[in-house]
Amino acid sequence: MSRLELYSRPFVAFDPTNKEHRRHYHNFVVKRSWGGCPVRFMCPEDHGDLITMMQRALIDYYTKREFRGVVKEQQPKIRSKGKRNG
């Protein structure tokens, strides 16, 4: 094992529910650099890039938080075509 591997920052999967992960992302947005981040975030292969993946995860997280108690509107019922009494 090389020294670079021994002293490198650990890989972590981004978790929008983790306050520290959100803080690291905020620092990146402000400073435009991952230089002060103590971890390296992994990007799954099915996502284009790390930043877009993090943005989508945060949008989903905050949207679910915002509308957690909202009751869904009932959709109008559509009658099926069948026999009519008459």
pLDDT tens sequence across 4-52: 667 789 999 999 999 999 999 999 999 999 999 999 999 887 777 999 9
Domain boundaries of the chain, sorted by first residue? 3-66
pTM over 0.85: no
**pLDDT at position 32:** 95
DSSP secondary structure code for residue 75 in this structure:
P
Per-residue burial over 37-75, b = 16 or more CB atoms within 10 Å of its CB, e = otherwise? beeebeeeeeeeebeebbeebbeeeeeeeeeeeeeeeee
**pLDDT at position 17:** 96
